[in-house]
Structure 1
Amino acid sequence: MTKHSLALTLTPLLAAALLAACGQKQDGAGAHGGAGGPPPVSVAPATQREVQEFDEFTARLEAPDTVEVRARVAGTVEAVRFKEGQLVKKGEPLFTIDARAFKAEVARAEAQIAAAKTQAELAKADLARAEKLVSANAVSQQEIDQLRAALRSAEANQKSAEAALVQARLNVEYASVTAPVSGRTSRANVTPGNLVGVGDPVLTTVVSSDKVYAYFDASEATYLKYMRSAKPVQTAVQMGLSNEQGFPHTGKLDFVDNRLNPATASIRARAVFDNKGGLFTPGLYARVKLGGGGTYPGVVVPDRAITTDQTQKLVLIVGPNNIVQPRPVKPGALIDGMRVVEGVKAGELVIVDGLLRAFPGAPVTPQVLKVDDKGMPIPAAQPGAAPAPAPAPASAASK
């Protein structure tokens, strides 16, 4: 092989080797932050703080009172006395049914009472006269018994007529359909001129609005935890709607069902919230947070620092000589992005960023981050970032 051909053959190989060397150098610089140095990671000290555990649930809002308004007498609807969707108070008229037939029945019952009363008075007078003649043997005992029976029958007829009058007056009262509870009305399902029967159809629906219930299902473990509390009911509950941040509304737990659902191993619970402002509408989805009692000291780490190694949870600790140490932990409650853990001591440096660059038993270059009052790491300023320019003086800006 000539020198010229040998040079042509080695040139591509030399170029490939140089490119590979440059690529390895760039990869090493990106992985280790320096030529051949340990990879950089961000660490933050585990923090001890007072912890109050809580549980979060999804809930649906329901009104304490939901009433289907139905007619209690049959007749023709004369008028709708409310505006659909408006707030009404208990006893306010909603519908008016033609009551002329019921008023006529009242008059007939009053006439029957008068006739029965007259009959009873006559029977009483006949019995009194007959009893005066008993001593003279002018009437027989049989006649006396018949007169007494006639008096009792007349008095019974009078009571029957009085009962019929009460019923007739009730029908007149029922012809004015009123709100059974205070709350907000639905739409009117009938219009004037329609004939309605007793109980059919549903004229409208009224739901109470001064309070609202939040129903949610709790697991068996949660139920047992709160049953150990001295006062499982009346526990404070916080709630947030789907368009709200956090849990701005406070209520109380007022009901826990008497048995668990064996199919789901859960139990139904209810919290009550004030709704005088009309903010909550039945049927809305809500998030509720149930506090778990007293506080206790606990060690917290950022939730993102916890990783999984097949069957266990662990965090990566930077130990002596900046060597990575895997530490199995038992995670607890999640509070403001911080996870309560068992297995880590306060002050130990936990890797929070760069977990993929850290290997157990290998060294790293830790960058210790500052933490806020809750223990959450504060992101470090980006290297090389220029500070924001100061605003120009007013005089210079005017020029």
Structure 2
Amino acid sequence: MFSFHVRHAALALAGLLLAGGLLLMRESAGTLADAGHSSPSPAIPVDVATIQYQTITDWHEYSGRLEAVERVEIRPLVSGTLTQVRFQDGTLVRRGDPLFAIDPRPYQAAVDEAQAQLTAATAQAAYTGTDLARARRLLASNAIARRDFEEKRNAAREASARVQAAQATLRSAQLDLEHTRIAAPIDGRVSKAAVTEGNVVGASDARPLTTMVSVSQLYASFEMDEQAFLEMSGTAASGVRTAVPVSMGLANEPGYPRQGRLAFLDNSLDPLTGTIRVRALFDNPDGRLRPGLYARIRMSAGTPHDAVLLREQAIGTDQAKRFVMIVDDENKAAYREVTLGANREGWRVIQTGLTAGDRVVVNGMQRIRPGDTVAPTPVHADGGALATGAAAPLPGQSPDEQHRS
């Protein structure tokens, strides 16, 4: 009786297991069927910028040094004892301001002596002139020999010559006296005095008393390579001063805030270095520019032209190739190989591969592959958010210019 109940329970359990297996198989089959009819993958969100042409000017960058437009060594033109130094080292002075004084007494004495000689020569010339006039009247009446008349005329001429010599001696002495007062020949900044009061100085001294440099304008001198020289416009390359724009920044200044112009191109290239000497002229209104300072220089090359610019973040690398991902009219991603040009402060010039109107992925390129469906969000060309209905601004374009466009 007990064995009968056991067999009955075992058969019931087997039936339950069989029914459960069939139910699981039916659910698995349903799941597989549902999987075969699943919805497509969602579109991948990316930021997209519409390409526009921008008018740009190519620039070349150089390193150089500042030079004074005018530099003068102050030297004495007469010898004597230095009695005064009439400036403070390193100060600004104006043309004509006194700088040094040399003891004038010996030169004043020379002027007095020359003046006395001129007075004597003038008196002698007056006497010989009167004597000649009297001899001319006597000669008319044959009251004097011709020989005596010629002697008096010769004496008058010699006296007149002595007057001219005395006048020249006086002017020379006066000039030497003026040279005892040494004044600034230009407007500019004076260096330190190399000689102090009490020293004897002279025109033959090897060391100048001091030096002066102009400060209102300075040159930035640098070397231009041959290729850049050939790219310049014909007018600028001819060596004529033109309005070729040149920008400059000092070592502690960001960018190139100072504007100048081309001032000089040398007449030949150095065959050893393949460069040509160039100077640009810059105003110095704040007085910060000093000769010898290091300068970063940027000069325009060629004429303005239209170009496509992209941020580096939107450009990928595929072995030796550079590429971007564009979005077509069906919002499908596509691979586009590009050729890069110059680097312009974080922007790259795209020489080939893109045209105006192309939509380029600028953020999210690493998440997509060619053929993927994307959900594009319009942004600026630099990746910044774009206001509703606004066009992407050109790099470097001000808000007012964007509004007008």
TM-score (norm 1): 0.73
Matches of 1:348 and 1:168, distance apart in 2: 85
Tell me the SS of whatever aligns to 1:133.
helix
Matches of 2:97 and 2:199, distance apart in 1: 21
Tell me the SS of whatever aligns to 1:341.
strand
For residue 10 of structure 1, what is the aligned residue in structure 2? Answer: none
For residue 47 of structure 1, what is the aligned residue in structure 2? Answer: 51
Deviations 1:54-82 (A, max 9, x none): 22222211111111101111001001000
For residue 275 of structure 1, what is the aligned residue in structure 2? Answer: 284
1:214 aligns with 2:223: no
For residue 11 of structure 1, what is the aligned residue in structure 2? Answer: none
- More displaced, 58-67 or 228-237? 228-237
For residue 263 of structure 1, what is the aligned residue in structure 2? Answer: 272
Tell me the SS of whatever aligns to 2:139.
coil
For residue 314 of structure 1, what is the aligned residue in structure 2? Answer: 322
1:300 aligns with 2:309: yes
For residue 16 of structure 2, what is the aligned residue in structure 1? Answer: none
Tell me the SS of whatever aligns to 1:94.
strand
For residue 32 of structure 2, what is the aligned residue in structure 1? Answer: none
1:172 CA displacement? 1.1
Tell me the SS of whatever aligns to 2:135.
helix
TM-score (norm 2): 0.72
- More displaced, 244-253 or 107-116? 244-253
1:157 CA displacement? 0.9
1:253 CA displacement? 2.0
Deviations 1:3-35 (A, max 9, x none): xxxxxxxxxxxxxxxxxxxxxxxxxxxxxxxxx
Matches of 1:148 and 1:285, distance apart in 2: 73
1:276 CA displacement? 2.9
Aligned length: 332
Q: CA RMSD in A?
A: 3.3
Counterparts of residues 1-399 of structure 1 (less than 5 Å): 47-53=51-57, 54-200=59-205, 201-228=207-234, 233-292=242-301, 295-303=304-312, 305=315, 314-315=322-323, 317=325, 327=337, 329=339, 331-346=340-355, 347=358, 349=360, 372=380, 375-377=381-383
Q: Structure 1 residues 78 and 302, CA, compared in 2 at 3 Å: closer, same or farther?
A: same
Q: 5+ unaligned residues in a row in structure 2: which ranges?
A: 1-43, 386-405
Tell me the SS of whatever aligns to 2:222.
strand
Deviations 1:145-173 (A, max 9, x none): 22222111111111111111111111111
Tell me the SS of whatever aligns to 2:299.
strand
Matches of 1:277 and 1:363, distance apart in 2: 59
Residue identity opposite 2:56 in structure 1: Q
- More displaced, 337-346 or 88-97? 337-346
1:309 CA displacement? 5.7
Matches of 1:199 and 1:46, distance apart in 2: 74
1:264 CA displacement? 2.5
Identity %: 36
For residue 13 of structure 1, what is the aligned residue in structure 2? Answer: none
Q: Structure 1 residues 276 and 348, CA, compared in 2 at 3 Å: closer, same or farther?
A: closer
